[in-house]
Structure 1
Amino acid sequence: MLNPGVVSNVHDRYILLLKHYLEAKHGFSGGRVQLASVLTNLTELQCITENHGSVLMQLEPSKVDPLILEVFNFTVKSSFMSISHAPQQMAVAPAGVSTQGSSFD
C-alpha cells in the first residue's frame, strides 16, 4: 500500500458517516448497536472472503465446471490456475426489466 495514512483517514471518515446515518435512522443508542453489528459482520465477511480465496486458488482447473471458471474469470495456464486481473462488473437487472442495449449486457 502506497499511502496507508490516506487509506486509514478515508476508512475513518466512512465509519463516521455510517455512524451518523445509523444514528439518524435508528436513534442514538440504536445506531451505535447497529454500527457495532455492521462492523462485526464486515470483519466476518473479510475472513470468509480470505478463506474462500485460498480455497479457490487450490482448485485444479480440470476438475472445475467450465461455467464456474467463466463466472469467476479463471484462466487455465499450463498446470495451474490464475485469476485474471481485469475486473468484471456483474450486474443483475430487476425482474421484468430488459437488458438489451443497456450496461447490463
Structure 2
Amino acid sequence: MGKMARETAENDLCRDALREDWHGYKRVFPVASGGVYPGKVHGNLDGYGIDCIVQAEGGVHGHPDGTTAGARAVVQAADAWRMQIPLKEYAKDHKELETALKFWGS
C-alpha cells in the first residue's frame, strides 16, 4: 500500500492469487512498492503478513538523516507492528522512526 495502492479488496484478491497452488510452479511473494515509507509499513504488513516484500527505496534513501537512518526507521516500523505497538508510541524511543513520521507522516 503505497502510491500505487488499490482498494483493499483488490489487494486481497491479488495477494490470495499469488499464494494459490500454481500446479508445480513456485509461489511468489506479494510486493509492496512505490511510495512506501515507514508510516506505510503497518498497512502493508496488516494486508500481506510477514510473507511479503516491502520495497521502501525512497522511504529508506529519502530519510532526512540519510540512508542508514531510513533503513533503521523501516525496521523499527516493522518491529512495532510485530510487537503490536502503535507507530507513534514506538517512535518516542526510536529517533529514526520519529524523524521519518515527522517527515512523511504516519
Fold shared, TM-score > 0.5 on shorter chain? no
Which structure has the bigger radius of gyration?
A: 1
Normalised TM-score (structure 2): 0.25
More RCO (CA 8 Å, sep 6+): 2
Q: Kindly indicate which of the two structures has a greater share of residues assigned to helix.
A: 1
